[in-house]
Amino acid sequence: MIIAKEHAEFLTITCLEWTHILKEDRFKDIVIDSLRFLSKEERIQVFGFVIMSNHFHLIWQMLGDHKLDDVQRDFLKFTSHEEHQQGQGVLISNRLKTSYYLVMVIILQ
């Protein structure tokens, strides 16, 4: 069993200008697949999430020695890369409870 060294975090991730990119199931599946991968690799534990058409909320916790910034970066990088591969360009930003912002820019096609 992997022990968590940090507390659970609440994360909200939004699409540029609240674009409804997550309306289609194929884009929801990208988010879910990424969370499944990170969970399977024992990097995170997911307590819950909800996906709306233009943003989603996630409650997760880092496991072992994995750091929030690293896992979050990998999650957003994979998710935006896959969305880009599906023919969408999107600016994804997230706001943590600490009011820390991370922004990833993908060129719009």
CA 17/CA 25 separation, integer angstroms: 20
> What are 19-60's pLDDT values in tens digits?
888 888 888 888 899 999 999 999 999 998 999 998 888 888
Residue 103 has pLDDT above 60, yes or no: no
Measured CA to CA in angstroms, residue 108 lies from 41, 71, 80 at distances of 31, 25, 11
Give the tens place of pLDDT for each residue, 87-99. Answer: 655 545 444 332 2
Thinking of the domain 9-105, which architecture would CATH place it in? 2-Layer Sandwich (3.30)
Residue bearing the bigger pLDDT, 17 or 75? 75
Reply yes or no on whether the pLDDT at 4 is more than 80. Answer: no
The pLDDT, as a whole number, for residue 94 is 47
Note the pLDDT tens digit of each residue in 63-88: 999 998 899 888 888 887 777 676 65
User: What are 2's two structure tokens?
Assistant: 């992997």
Nearest to 58 by CA among 21, 8, 12, 6: 12
Name the residue ranges covered by the structural domains of the chain. 9-105
